[in-house]
Amino acid sequence: MQNTAETGPDAPLDVTPLLDDPYAACAALREAGPVHRITGTDGSPAWLVTRYDDVRRALADPRLSLDKRHATPGGYRGFALPPALDANLLNMDPPDHTRVRRLVVKAFTPGRVEKLRGPVRRTAEELLDAMAAAGRADLISDYAGPLPITVICDLLGIPEADRRDFLAWSDALITPDPGRPHLMKEAIGAMLEFYTGLIAAKRAQPGDDLLSDLIAVRDEPAAGSGERAEGGDRLTEDELTSLAFLILFAGYENTVHLIGNSVLTLLDHPERLDRLRRNPAELPAAVEEFLRFDGPSPLSIRRFPTEDLEIGGVRIPAGDSVLLSIASANRDPGRFPDPDVPDPGRNASGHLAMGHGIHHCLGASLARLEAVTALDALLGRFPDLRLDVPRGALRHRRSLRSRGLISLPVTWKSANEQAFEA
């Protein structure tokens, strides 16, 4: 039965299947109906949208606000961040969203991203050099994780000594421990202290990096006056801090999971791995298919209707939480034939892994470049790459909002083994 506001919602669905076997659960929900009432892992009630056409339209619907001030009082109990970390693009609608995005999008233009291709490749090769002699590695902690954190920290100008702490904080936010809620609170406090100190250091001694550029935008005085312009194309202090947090957090989390999920997909389908190794020019199209097939973000950021509206024939009251299932939409057989089979030769254009509309992922082009480069370097270096544990031993992070492996142990013939065989 479909849930509607007029008839009263059915009992909210248990989200455990979405955590245990998300794609099978999505298929069942998609078949049962376009919209379902659920209770999230944080206890918040929400409407889950499952079908491609509905999800795509909703992503671009201006009546679905990202601003939590439109939520029904007491109805949303999501991620609790202090204002200095929360005033970011994931919580903004136009005109604030338009203003802030315009200021940061210059860092991710095609030309500027292309200039990063060489540094990304060098970082990938250095990581592989460090792994090569051992003949085995955890591909998440030794490769897929360090690559994006190095790239995004270099982009922002974050000292190398601070990067390990950031990884620990990120893990506490991505997969919070229900039994130890203080860990998330401590991670949030540590992040806020870190960003506040980093911005102060960059103000005192600017560098050739994105964060220094954003600080200049925040601090630059209005033309012809001795005071900083209020409004216009300027950032508030909270927006500045929140942007630094978002760029670093999202730039790491999404890319590490994209690389890890892509490698596992290839290891699960060795004939496709062999094809890409022989034809590396197909990697950009293959990454689009990996984004569709097993992307890093199963759900879009929650939205709140600014008025009563209908999605898929289901009436949703203003202020309720709406979750758009990217994972379900990207496996909708009404849009992608044979969707549960990864096909690097498929035309995966139109997938929603990077969003759609004005909230399309700001760093999508950089994430794609990193994934293509990481896969190209890895497949070229280790032609006999294979899992180092039984397939059933692998575990994904238990999260509705993030789809990624906890670890990915792999092995290959080391240089010593190859020399012995020769």
Residue type at 2 in one-letter notation: Q
Query: Which pLDDT value is given to residue 250?
Result: 86
Query: Which pLDDT value is given to residue 298?
Result: 96
Provide φ and ψ at 291, rounded to 5°.
-60, -40
Query: Which pLDDT value is given to residue 47?
Result: 96
Query: Which pLDDT value is given to residue 3?
Result: 42
Query: Which pLDDT value is given to residue 176?
Result: 67
CA angle, 380 then 148 then 202, to 5°: 145
Collect all residues with Cβ–Cβ distance below 8 Å to 144 and sequence separation of at least 6: 255, 256, 257, 259, 260, 263, 374, 408
Query: Which pLDDT value is given to residue 108?
Result: 85
* Sole residue written with tokens 């409407």: 47
Tens-digit pLDDT profile for the chain (422 aa)? Answer: 344 433 334 567 888 999 999 999 999 999 999 999 998 877 889 999 999 999 999 999 999 999 999 999 877 776 668 888 888 899 999 999 999 999 888 888 888 899 999 999 999 999 999 999 999 999 999 999 999 999 999 998 988 888 888 878 877 777 666 677 778 888 889 989 999 999 999 999 999 888 998 898 887 654 333 333 444 568 899 999 999 989 888 889 999 999 999 999 999 999 999 999 999 999 999 999 999 999 999 999 999 999 999 999 999 999 999 999 999 999 999 999 999 999 998 999 999 999 999 999 999 999 999 999 999 999 999 999 999 999 999 999 888 889 999 999 999 986 556 545 55
Q: Residue 176, CB half-sphere, CA atoms under 13 Å: how many?
A: 19
Query: Quick check: 213 and 157 in contact, CB under 8 A?
Result: no
Q: Which helix (H) or strand (E) holds 311?
A: strand 309-311
pTM assigned to the model: 0.90
Q: Residue 315, CB half-sphere, CA atoms under 13 Å: how many?
A: 8
Query: Which pLDDT value is given to residue 224?
Result: 37
Cα-Cα-Cα-Cα dihedral sign, residues 337, 343, 349, 354: positive
As given in the structure block, the two tokens for residue 55 are 């999800």
Query: Which pLDDT value is given to residue 7?
Result: 33
Q: Which CATH number fits domain 16-421: 1.10.630.10, 3.20.20.30, 1.20.1270.10, 3.30.2290.10?
A: 1.10.630.10
